[in-house]
């Protein structure tokens, strides 16, 4: 029952968030700031995880496909498909749900408990729109960029693993990377990322916005934001995969 | 002028406001006093629309705020300034940006230079212009209150609401803040409503005082009258401190 109440409240908040901005100029400035806060400041962790995961996927694939009937370039092919279809859009989004989601929920939750949101309301400002909409738009712009970088670095990580450990010759790895490449796979990854970005920013914004109490409740909101963002990412991953790939 | 008619608010079984009627006049500092839990904060939140009353109305210059839609309320809210108990300054903005913020949101006719000039005027008025490039975390509690007052008056409000403006301040700073609010009220002819349980504030600046007791408007009058009201609950509140009792 509580779940349905939360979904109802979330949808009502979305209606408030998506109202016409009172001063579009200020919203534009906020979007730029949020792109830096939520996107560029996540670049480091995305880069490190992508390189190492790409390397691990390559090594694991090489060891698990050591069969005379399977061509050696299959390692490169499998690495590319794993990274584009699942690792970069979904796993990176889950990581961003942890990093960005907790940041959004704690920032807005703190503003709630310190009456900053009340101050916005008394001024006649649509506080939900002003605080959450720029974060949603910024995430939907910047997360696909992060995922593109992640795909590139994941494949680079696989190449580095091949070069260092020699589990697969580089020429075969590159052949596999380019083998039957479909642009639609990248399109699919980006569509998923945009949806996940919307979910992360809006769900985290919702849990921050409804915070009541003090520091303890801000912590709870932050945790809920990460947990529910992650759950909905996993659910929508299944739904979008069914819609877009089948 | 703000009129309150039969204002009622409850939370579940708990009746917090039980039908309050009063009038707050222009150019006066109106103080709401009462014990903790008497319903002062709920009353003020109903006045500014942060809480919806169950029944009754709040009239800003004869217009029923309670019945207005969101768009109509936004117009009235542009004429409001509010000083919160914890100041509620925006952490990510400097002192100057905090004061410019309401001007940026609504005054499309003003140039950037005019907005900055207005912000500097307000900061100068509360004697804190020197701190304009500092962040809220870098200034003291008293300074935060001053900045919050500057932000509240930046948009030239007709109504100023102050929720416990001198809580957490030392007695000297509290008096400075009280006087500042009183001066601003008279200077700009604002309808000011202050929520407090500080008797120093009542005696210092209370033009019109209302005493709320268990959700009812128990007594109203001036700060002079409060000392000789004869009302038991009011006297218990006024003479709660040993020092004041000795002075009596």
pLDDT of residue B248: 65
- The structure's pTM equals 0.89
Task: Tell me which of B108, B134, B156 is where a domain ends.
Answer: B156
Query: What is the C-alpha separation between B28 and A219, in angstroms, rounded?
Result: 42
Q: Residue A140: pLDDT band by 50, 70, 90 thresholds?
A: very high
Strands (E), A23-66: none
A240 close to A192: Cβ distance less than 8 angstroms: yes
Q: What percentage of residues in chain B have a pLDDT greater than 90?
A: 48
Quick check: A24 contacting B, CB < 8 Å?
A: no
pLDDT of residue B36: 85
Q: Which helix (H) or strand (E) holds B163?
A: strand B159-163
For residue B84, being part of any structural domain is answered with: no
The closest alpha carbon to B54, from B4, B11, B2, B22, belongs to B11
Q: In what order do the strands lie in the sheet with B55-60?
A: B14-24, B2-11, B55-60, B63-64
For residue B85, being part of any structural domain is answered with: no
ipTM over 0.85 threshold: yes
User: Both tokens of residue B49?
Assistant: 């629309």
What is the pLDDT of chain A when averaged over all its residues? Answer: 93
B104/A118 touch (CB, cutoff 8 Å), yes or no: no
More confident residue, A46 or B169: A46
Q: ∠A105-A44-A53 over CA atoms, to 5°?
A: 100
pLDDT of residue A65: 84
- Is the pLDDT score of A127 beyond 80? yes
Same domain, B152 and B163: no
pLDDT of residue B106: 84
Same domain, B203 and B150: no
Q: Stretch A190-199: mean pLDDT, rounded?
A: 97
Report in angstroms the alpha-carbon separations of A28 from A31, A116, A135, B40.
Answer: 5, 21, 11, 39
For residue B70, being part of any structural domain is answered with: yes
B223-231: long-range contacts (C-beta < 8 A, 24 or more apart)?
Answer: B223/B31, B226/B202
Task: Tell me which of B156, B190, B205 is where a domain ends.
Answer: B156
User: Both tokens of residue A85?
Assistant: 């279809």
pLDDT of residue A176: 93
Query: What is the C-alpha separation between B197 and B180, in angstroms, rounded?
Result: 18
- Is the pLDDT score of B119 beyond 80? yes
Q: In what order do the strands lie in the sheet with B159-163?
A: B80-83, B159-163, B191-195, B29-33, B208-213, B216-221
Taking CB atoms and an 8 Å cutoff, what residues of chain A touch B106? 22-23, 124
Model pLDDT for residues B61-113, shown as the tens digit of each residue: 999 999 998 889 988 998 999 999 888 999 999 999 999 999 988 888 889 99
Q: Stretch B179-201: mean pLDDT, rounded?
A: 89
A22/B105 touch (CB, cutoff 8 Å), yes or no: yes
Q: Residue A143: pLDDT band by 50, 70, 90 thresholds?
A: very high
Lowest mean pLDDT among A140-144, A189-193, A196-200, B230-234: B230-234
pLDDT of residue B227: 82
- Is the pLDDT score of B240 beyond 80? no
Q: Stretch A86-113: mean pLDDT, rounded?
A: 95
pLDDT of residue B247: 66
Q: Stretch A56-77: mean pLDDT, rounded?
A: 89
Same domain, B12 and B121: no
Query: What is the C-alpha separation between A70 and A127, in angstroms, rounded?
Result: 58
Q: What percentage of residues in chain A have a pLDDT greater than 90?
A: 84
Give Rg (Cα) of chain A: 21
Tell me how close the Cα of A28 comes to any Cα of chain B, in angstroms.
13
Tell me how close the Cα of A142 comes to any Cα of chain B, in angstroms.
21
Lowest mean pLDDT among A129-143, A170-184, B160-174: B160-174
A23/B108 touch (CB, cutoff 8 Å), yes or no: yes
Query: What is the C-alpha separation between B17 and B30, in angstroms, rounded?
Result: 18
Lowest mean pLDDT among A68-72, A111-115, B206-210: A68-72
Q: Chains A and B: how many Cβ contacts under 8 Å?
A: 54
Model pLDDT for residues B95-106, shown as the tens digit of each residue: 999 999 999 888
- Is the pLDDT score of A119 beyond 70? yes
- Is the pLDDT score of A246 beyond 80? no
Residue B31's domain spans which residues?
Answer: 2-79+158-247
Query: What is the C-alpha separation between B179 and B40, in angstroms, rounded?
Result: 21
Q: Stretch A122-148: mean pLDDT, rounded?
A: 95
Question: Which chain A residue's Cα is nearest to B107?
Answer: A23
Same domain, B120 and B163: no
Phi and psi angles of residue B153, each rounded to the nearest 5 degrees, phi first = -100, 0
Query: What is the C-alpha separation between B239 and B237, in angstroms, rounded?
Result: 6
Query: What is the C-alpha separation between A178 and A155, in angstroms, rounded?
Result: 11
Q: Stretch A1-12: mean pLDDT, rounded?
A: 89
pLDDT of residue B188: 87
Task: Tell me which of B102, B129, B156 is where a domain ends.
Answer: B156
What is the pLDDT of chain B when averaged over all its residues? Answer: 89
pLDDT of residue A102: 96
The closest alpha carbon to B162, from B17, B33, B11, belongs to B33
- Is the pLDDT score of B31 beyond 80? yes
pLDDT of residue A69: 83
Residue B114 makes CB contacts below 8 A (sequence gap 6+) with none
| Number of domains composing chain B | 2
Query: What is the C-alpha separation between B43 and B58, in angstroms, rounded?
Result: 10
Tell me how close the Cα of A121 comes to any Cα of chain B, in angstroms.
8
Q: Residue B126: pLDDT band by 50, 70, 90 thresholds?
A: confident
A170 close to A162: Cβ distance less than 8 angstroms: yes
Same domain, B210 and B189: yes
pLDDT of residue B95: 95
Quick check: B102 contacting A, CB < 8 Å?
A: yes
Domain of B11: which CATH number? 3.40.50.300
User: Where does residue B191 rank: exposed (0-12), middle (13-18), buried (19+ CB within 10 A)?
Assistant: buried
């Amino acid at each position: 029952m509580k779940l349905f109440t939360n979904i109802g409240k979330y949808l009502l908040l979305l209606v408030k968030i998506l109202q016409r901005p009172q001063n579009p100029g200020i919203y534009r400035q906020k979007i730029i700031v949020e792109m830096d806060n939520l996107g560029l400041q996540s670049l480091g962790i995305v880069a490190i995880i992508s390189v190492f995961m790409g390397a691990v996927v390559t090594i694991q694939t090489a060891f698990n496909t050591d069969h005379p009937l399977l061509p050696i370039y299959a390692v490169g092919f499998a690495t590319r498909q794993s990274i584009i279809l699942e690792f970069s859009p979904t796993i990176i989004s889950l990581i961003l749900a942890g990093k960005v989601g907790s940041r959004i929920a704690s920032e807005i939750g703190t503003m709630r408990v310190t009456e900053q949101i009340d101050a916005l309301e008394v001024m006649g400002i649509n506080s939900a729109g002003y605080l959450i909409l720029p974060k949603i738009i910024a995430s939907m712009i910047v997360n696909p960029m992060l995922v593109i970088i992640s795909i590139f670095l994941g494949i680079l990580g696989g190449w580095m693993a091949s070069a260092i450990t020699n589990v697969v010759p580089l020429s075969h790895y590159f052949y596999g990377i380019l083998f039957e490449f479909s642009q639609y796979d990248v399109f699919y990854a980006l569509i998923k990322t945009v949806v996940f970005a919307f979910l992360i920013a809006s769900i985290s914004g919702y849990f921050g916005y409804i915070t009541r109490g003090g520091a303890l409740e801000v912590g709870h909101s932050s945790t809920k934001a990460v947990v529910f963002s992650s759950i909905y990412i996993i659910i929508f991953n299944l739904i979008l995969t069914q819609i877009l790939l089948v | 002028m703000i009129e309150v008619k039969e204002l009622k608010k409850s939370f579940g079984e708990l009746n917090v406001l039980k039908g309050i009627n009063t009038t707050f006049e222009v150019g006066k500092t109106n103080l709401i006093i009462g014990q903790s839990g008497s319903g002062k904060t709920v009353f003020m939140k109903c006045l500014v629309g942060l809480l919806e009353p169950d029944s009754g109305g709040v009239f800003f210059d004869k217009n029923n705020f309670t019945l207005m839609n969101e768009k109509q309320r936004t117009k009235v809210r542009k004429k409001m300034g509010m000083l919160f108990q914890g100041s509620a300054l925006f952490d990510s903005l400097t002192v100057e940006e905090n004061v410019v913020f309401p001007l940026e949101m609504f005054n499309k006719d003003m140039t950037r230079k005019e907005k900055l000039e207005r912000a500097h005027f307000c900061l100068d008025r509360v004697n804190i212009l020197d701190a304009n490039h500092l962040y809220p975390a870098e200034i003291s509690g008293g300074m935060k209150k001053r900045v919050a007052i500057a932000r509240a008056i930046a948009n030239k409000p007709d109504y100023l609401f102050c929720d416990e403006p001198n809580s957490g301040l030392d007695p000297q700073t509290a008096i400075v803040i009280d006087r500042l609010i009183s001066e601003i009220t008279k200077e700009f002819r604002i309808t000011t409503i202050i929520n407090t349980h500080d008797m120093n504030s009542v005696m210092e600046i209370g033009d019109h005082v209302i005493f709320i007791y268990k959700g009812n408007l128990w007594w109203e009058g001036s700060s002079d009258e409060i000392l000789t009201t004869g009302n038991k609950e009011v006297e218990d509140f006024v003479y709660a401190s040993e020092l004041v009792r000795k002075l009596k």
